[in-house]
Amino acid sequence: MDEFMQAAIDEAEQGLKEGGIPIGSVLVYQGKIIGRGHNLRIQKKSAILHGEMAALEHAGRQPASVYRNSTLYTTLSPCPMCSGAIRLYQIPRVIIGENQTFLGDEEMLKASGVEIEVLQNAKCISLMEQLKDSSPELWNEDIGEE
Amino acid sequence: MDEFMQAAIDEAEQGLKEGGIPIGSVLVYQGKIIGRGHNLRIQKKSAILHGEMAALEHAGRQPASVYRNSTLYTTLSPCPMCSGAIRLYQIPRVIIGENQTFLGDEEMLKASGVEIEVLQNAKCISLMEQLKDSSPELWNEDIGEE
């Protein structure tokens, strides 16, 4: 297991411990994690702090050159909002834990020139399957579904 | 002047008073503002709190049915991240103060079925022109440009 995807999974599991949605993410620049976070919908009553957004927020203000040489790791396929953030900052590479339980805007990312790798990691899948089984209404809220 | 666009401009001007980037937004549901905010890059060292994102965050956790019957007002054409958030939550209508100083992801929004109205409001344009003249590097940072 890549240490960075492991860090994203650690974030997802931390979210689960907090009673939250188990999705985590880390932003990696020059071989180091410069931002990390997990979904905070429940913990902060947040509509925008998905895992990827939390990692970007934690990284703070960065120049364009940093984003353009970074890799974003996320345990789940990025939704339209998070994909839009990836496009805004022109992050060139995204490593995705899995896209079996939810398929985000990967086609648009690819069309924008973003390199994508999907791992279909069993732990990432299991975390999301548990959430969708136990709290389908919460998951629907997180992705704007009825 | 529509009271909601005026409220978005008030937010932008509040941001300017705080030394921030002058872009504001309000989310309107059933004739009432349920979320409002302005760009907080400088004030909160935030990479994700654009005006529209701040308004969504301020609205808090909402069910899909609220977003799908809301209108988002923003003083500036929404960037890819904010457009992604509009798509995630399927907000059907976006009123834009202006798109002369920056053209965001309007084509994608339209392709996703979002109704867009652009006002080319002189105050919105003037706020952005001042920012771009006085702090071009800050504006570039906000839109992920070198």
Delimit the domains of chain A by residue range.
Answer: 3-139
Transcribe A85-141 into DSSP letters. Answer: HHHHTT--EEEES--SS---SHHHHHHTT-EEEE---HHHHHHHHHHHHH-HHHHHH
pLDDT on residue B64: 97
Q: What is the mean pLDDT of residues A42-68?
A: 98
Active-site hit among B52, B117, B141, B145: B52
Residue B14 contacts A where some CB pair is shorter than 8 Å: no
pLDDT on residue B54: 98
Minimal CA separation from A3 to chain B, in Å: 25
Count Cβ atoms below 10 Å from residue A94 Cβ, excluding itself. Answer: 26
pLDDT on residue B97: 98
The pLDDT confidence band at residue A1, using thresholds 50, 70 and 90, is: low
pLDDT on residue B6: 98
pLDDT on residue B1: 66
pLDDT on residue B133: 96
The verdict on a CB contact (< 8 Å) between A64 and B105 is no
Q: What is the mean pLDDT of residues A20-25?
A: 98
> The CATH number of B3-139 is which of 3.40.47.10, 3.30.1220.10, 3.30.830.10, 3.40.140.10?
3.40.140.10
What is chain B's mean pLDDT, rounded? 97
- Interface ipTM above 0.95: yes
pTM: 0.98
**pLDDT at residue A12 greater than cutoff 80:** yes
Tell me the per-residue pLDDT of B89-103, one tens digit each, with 9 for 90 and over: 999 999 999 999 999
Residues above pLDDT 90, as percent of chain B: 98
Pick B64's closest partner by Cβ from A49, A82, A146: A146
> Measured between beta carbons, which residues in chain A are less than 8 angstroms from residue B59?
47
